[in-house]
Structure 1
Amino acid sequence: MMAMAMRRWPLHRGIHGISAKRALNTKPLFDENVLLPLFPESVQETIKYGLNTQGFCILRDFASSDIAMAMRRESERLYAEGHMFQSNSVDAEGKSYPKLNVYASELNGNEWDIAPTILHYTRSIMLQAPEMLNKLFPGLQISSRAYASKLAVSLGEGASYPKHCDTAGLPDKRKVTMVYYLNPKWKLGDGGELRVFGPDGTHVIEPHVDTLAVFWSDLVAHDVLPCENPIEDIDARRYALTLWLVTDNPRQINDKNHHLYPLRQHHFPNTG
Structure 2
Amino acid sequence: MSDDILPAALAQGLRQEAQRRWESGLFRTATVGPTLAKRQDTDIRGDSICWLQAHDVQADITAFHDWAVRTQGLLNREFFIGLRWLECHFARYGSGAGYTRHVDQHVASSARKISLVLYLNPDWQQGDGGELCIYHPESPDTEQVRIAPRMGRLMLFRSDLIPHAVLPCSSARWSLTGWFRSDEPA
SS in structure 1 at match of 2:160: coil
Paired amino acid for 2:6? A
Structure with the higher fraction of residues in strand conformation? 2
Structure 2 unmatched runs, 5+: none
Q: Which position in structure 1 is the counterpart of 2:88?
A: 149
Paired residues of 2:29 and 2:40 also in contact (CA < 8 A) = no
1:102 to 47, 59, 62: 47
Q: Which position in structure 2 is the counterpart of 1:175?
A: 113
SS in structure 2 at match of 1:106: strand
Identity score, percent: 29
TM-score w.r.t. the length of structure 1 is: 0.59
Structure 1 unmatched runs, 5+: 1-57, 230-236, 249-272
Deviations 1:244-270 (A, max 9, x none): 11125xxxxxxxxxxxxxxxxxxxxxx
Deviation, structure 1 residue 101: 4.9
Deviation, structure 1 residue 111: 4.5
Whole-angstrom CA distance in 2 between matches of 1:88 and 1:116: 28
Closer, same or farther: CA 95–170 of 1 in aligned 2, 3 Å: closer
Cα RMSD (Å) of the superposition? 2.2
Correspondence list, 1:1-272, <5 A: 58-90=1-33, 96-99=39-42, 101-109=46-54, 111-112=56-57, 115-125=58-68, 127-138=69-80, 140-143=81-84, 146-156=85-95, 158-198=96-136, 201-229=143-171, 237-248=172-183
Paired residues of 2:31 and 2:38 also in contact (CA < 8 A) = no
Higher RCO (CA 8 Å, separation ≥ 6 residues): 2
Paired amino acid for 2:49? A
Q: Report how many aligned residue pairs link the two structures.
A: 176
Bigger radius of gyration? 1
Whole-angstrom CA distance in 2 between matches of 1:132 and 1:110: 22
Paired residues of 2:76 and 2:82 also in contact (CA < 8 A) = yes
Closer, same or farther: CA 134–74 of 1 in aligned 2, 3 Å: same
Paired residues of 1:181 and 1:241 also in contact (CA < 8 A) = yes
Deviations 1:17-65 (A, max 9, x none): xxxxxxxxxxxxxxxxxxxxxxxxxxxxxxxxxxxxxxxxx11112122
SS in structure 2 at match of 1:70: helix
Deviation, structure 1 residue 241: 0.6
